[in-house]
Structure 1
Amino acid sequence: MQFKGVLKKMQTEIGNPIQYYLVFESDFLNVNQVLDRELEIEFIKYQCLNCNLDKPIYRQGFCRNCFFEIPSAGDWIMRPELSTAHLDQEDRDLEYEKKVQLQPHVVYLANSSNIKVGVTRKSQVPTRWIDQGAHEAIEIVEVPNRYLAGITEVALKDHIGDKTNWRKMLTNNVDDEDLVAYRNKLRQYIPEEAAPYFIENNKESHMEFPVLRYPEKVKSLNLEKTPHFKGILKGIKGQYLIFEDNTVFNVRGSEGYYISLNIN
């Protein structure tokens, strides 16, 4: 079985375990169905997710030119507190920015390697948590725009981390935590503008990942340095494929790479 196409982050479907899909231009693969089989990955060329040209990928699946020009790669994507659509102020394309920024957003706690705070659009729950490899998560506030979510995250980052230790997450060296207690402790630090949006009575969400065996140590596959790789797939967590030899492959970190994929 062979697939060819440009890599984009795996699509997911909530379930026990979570279902993962690699989606190509004219085909797709349910990755869960090829656990315990040999995958052969070959890097063929680049293909920017915006202009489709064979140009080196700079960030987020885009070539350098596109990354600094298109609205979907503006600074407010990574730093939501920089959002300005609620003020009717344009960054790169006000119509696009209003569409994305002026919709309900959630500030949440997720536990993947440790407890961290994050922001996502409400429509991306629980997808965002799955992509981060979180085995448990809970919403703190639900606000009407990205700016309010951003300033809340900034305020809470003074009291809890905002980064995931991906190596720890992939070795499953994690503890269960009482996220309700953490959420309640952090309430006092929520900015005044966002305080009315605090969520009082929700419960933790739990995610189960399709992993047959976790690695003891991890070594990362970089397709630029290793353009041809073969390995037995043992699991999927976050946006990573986990192989029998402890190699892990970050699909999302390789967006914009055109590959061939053989299932042996």
Structure 2
Amino acid sequence: MLYQGVLRKMQTEMAAPIQYYLILENDFLNMNQLLDKTIHLQFIKHQCLNCSLNKPIFRQGFCKSCFFDIPQAADWIMKPELSTAHLDQEDRDLVYEKKVQLQPHIVYLANSSNVKVGVTRKSQVPTRWIDQGAHEAIEIVEVPNRYLAGITEVALKNHVGDKTNWRKMLKNDVEDENLVEWREKLKQYIPAEAVDYYIASNTETEIHFPVKQYPEKPKSLNIEKEKSYTGRLVGLKGQYLIFEDERVFNVRGNEGCVVSLALS
């Protein structure tokens, strides 16, 4: 069976284990069902997720001209503290910015390679945690806009990490942490504007991934450079496909690449 399409991040469903779905133009693959199967990937071309042109991907699945133009790639996406829609100030497209920024946001702790702080829209819980490969997570505050979440994250990351070590995450070289204790310890650093939104009564969310074999020394697969690759799928974690030979493929990191996928 041969499938083809432009890569976008895998869709997920909260279950035990997490269910993964790869959505292509005309196909819908439950990736869990492909575990233990041999997959052949072939790079075909680029396709910008905004303009659909065959232009080199710059970041986040967009070509360079789109990346510096569209609101979906503005600086406030990666740095929520730069959000200005709550002030009625436009960055690139105020209608879009209000739609995204002026909705409930969560500041959370997640443990994937270590305990880290992060921000996501409330509607993206627990999807954001799954995408990061976190095996446990907890909400700290729920605020009404992205700006408040951003300044809270900035304050807290002086006292806890804000990055994931992808190799450590994929090796499953992680320890369970008491995130309730972490949350309570960090409360004192929440900015005054957000402290009233502190969540004091919730518990950790545990996440289980469909992995049969973790790599000891994960090696990233660059399908654009190598053009093709064949391997047996043994796991899915975060947005990674994990293969038996310890190669790992970051689907989200390759958004905008058109590939063919064959099974044997």
Is there any run of 5+ residues in structure 2 with no aligned partner, and where? none
Question: What is the CA-CA distance between 1:25 and the residue it aligns to?
Answer: 1.1
The reply on whether 1:21 has 2:21 as its aligned counterpart is: yes
Q: What is residue 39 of structure 1 aligned with on the other side?
A: 39
Taking the aligned partners of 1:163 and 1:126, their CA distance within structure 2 comes to: 18
Q: What is residue 75 of structure 1 aligned with on the other side?
A: 75
Q: What is residue 165 of structure 1 aligned with on the other side?
A: 165
Structure 1 window deviating more from structure 2 (57-66 vs 219-228): it is: 219-228
Q: What is residue 217 of structure 1 aligned with on the other side?
A: 217
Question: What is the CA-CA distance between 1:26 and the residue it aligns to?
Answer: 1.5
Q: Which amino acid aligns with 2:75?
A: D
Q: How does 1:1-264 map to 2 (within 5 A)?
A: 1-264=1-264
SS in 2 for 1:225: helix
Taking the aligned partners of 2:136 and 2:200, their CA distance within structure 1 comes to: 18
SS in 2 for 1:26: coil
SS in 2 for 1:139: strand
Is there any run of 5+ residues in structure 1 with no aligned partner, and where? none
Normalising by structure 2, we get a TM-score of 1.00
Question: What is the CA-CA distance between 1:235 and the residue it aligns to?
Answer: 0.1
SS in 1 for 2:116: strand
SS in 1 for 2:58: strand
Taking the aligned partners of 2:110 and 2:2, their CA distance within structure 1 comes to: 36
Percent identical: 72
Q: Following TM superposition, where does structure 1 have runs of at least 4 consecutive aligned residues deviating by more than 6 angstroms?
A: none
Taking the aligned partners of 2:45 and 2:136, their CA distance within structure 1 comes to: 37
SS in 2 for 1:66: helix
Normalising by structure 1, we get a TM-score of 1.00
Question: What is the CA-CA distance between 1:27 and the residue it aligns to?
Answer: 1.2
Question: What is the CA-CA distance between 1:157 and the residue it aligns to?
Answer: 0.6
Taking the aligned partners of 1:106 and 1:128, their CA distance within structure 2 comes to: 11
Taking the aligned partners of 2:223 and 2:33, their CA distance within structure 1 comes to: 23
Q: Which amino acid aligns with 1:115?
A: V
Question: What is the CA-CA distance between 1:263 and the residue it aligns to?
Answer: 1.1
Q: Which amino acid aligns with 2:58?
A: Y
Q: Deviations over 1:3-31 (max 9, x none)?
A: 10000000000000000000011211000
